[in-house]
Amino acid sequence: MKRACTIASYCSIRGNKVILDDKLLYKGPEDHFSDFASGVYKHFSVSYPKFHKMDNLGKLGFLAAEILLKGRDIINKYPADKTGIMLMNSSSSLDTDRNHQRTISNSNDYFPSPAVFVYTLPNVVIGEICIRHKFYGEGNFFIMEKFNPSFMVNYISQLFDNDIVDCCITGWVEIDGDNFESVLFLIEKSSRTETGIANFEPATIESIYNRK
């Protein structure tokens, strides 16, 4: 079956490596995610002071989107309200939930922080990417035990088939303790992408996801 959309590009950030369309762009020596994220931020010369305010899930999704979208001029290629983001993960915002809990667990040191609490919702990373790239379209965050390529392809395909999006950033953004993994895909309307890297099928998505 001919799909209305194509995988234009993908970016993975995991195992201290940043890969864009099978090319290794960065490998960091850092032990902790926050240091690694700062390394990636510097390496790719990102200039966005708000980055430092984000929680780890926010940083992970933001950086993957930053590298995925660099030089693609999505905002001029598609209507802003037809560019959507659909992300998935396994542990929601639990990483930051634990941080918020630490600010309230001791009644003698009880200082809940709004800057932490706001990130106790997984979809805030979608907001961060939308603010950065001026996307006004669909936003969905789903939680599931493991990355599910079939669900992703089914869900995103109907968004394209029903003309709800022309372009979509989708994928897996997971962080739980020291484990982190982000694999984001840029999906575009087939009629607008001559240079797609692969068909948008569960098998291709799965094989890209497994290329570690």
Partner 1 sequence: MEQLVQKLKEEIITALNLSEMKPENIDEKAPLFVDGLGLDSIDALELTVLLEKKYGLKINTSEEGKKVLLSVNSMAEFIRENKKG
Partner 2 sequence: MREVYISADNIITPLGFTTDENAASMLAGETGIRIVKEENMSPLPFYASLIDPKLLLGRFSIFDDPAKYTRFDKMAICSIKDAVSSTELNLTDSRTLFILSTTKGNIDLLETDSSDKRLYLWNTARMLQQYFNFSNEPLVVSDACISGVQAIITGVRLIKAGLYDNCIINGTDIISEFVLSGFNSFKSISTGPCRPFDRTRDGLSLGEGSGTIILTSDPSACGNVKIVAGDGFSTNDANHISGPSRTGEGLYIAISKLLKNTPVKVDFISAHGTATLYNDEMESIAMTRAGLQEVPVNSFKGYWGHTLGAAGVIESVMSIYSIRNSILFNTAGFSESGVTNPLNIVNASVSKDIGNCMKIASGFGGCNAAILFHRK
Is position 178 an interface residue for partner 1 (rule: CB under 8 A)?
Answer: no
Distance, in Å, from the CA atom of 98 to the CA atom of 87, rounded to the nearest integer, reads 21
Contacted entry of partner 1, partner 2, none for residue 49, CB cut-off 5 to 8 Å set by kind: partner 1
Is position 114 an interface residue for partner 1 (rule: CB under 8 A)?
Answer: yes
For residue 8, CA distances in Å to 89, 90, 126, 142, 205 come to 22, 25, 20, 22, 12
Out of 106, 111, 145, 146, the only residue in the binding site for partner 1 (CB under 8 A) is 111
Distance, in Å, from the CA atom of 161 to the CA atom of 189, rounded to the nearest integer, reads 10
Out of 53, 98, 134, 212, the only residue in the binding site for partner 1 (CB under 8 A) is 53
Is position 102 an interface residue for partner 1 (rule: CB under 8 A)?
Answer: no
Q: Which residues lie closer than 8 Å to 74 by C-beta, 6 or more apart?
A: 83, 133, 135, 167, 186
Out of 34, 113, 179, 210, the only residue in the binding site for partner 2 (CB under 8 A) is 113
- Is the dihedral angle over the CA atoms 191, 193, 198, 200 positive or is it negative? negative
Residues near partner 2 (CB under 8 A) = 80-81, 85, 90-92, 94, 97-98, 100-101, 103-105, 107, 110, 112-114, 117-118, 120-128, 130-131, 133-145, 148, 151, 154-155, 157-159, 161-162, 164
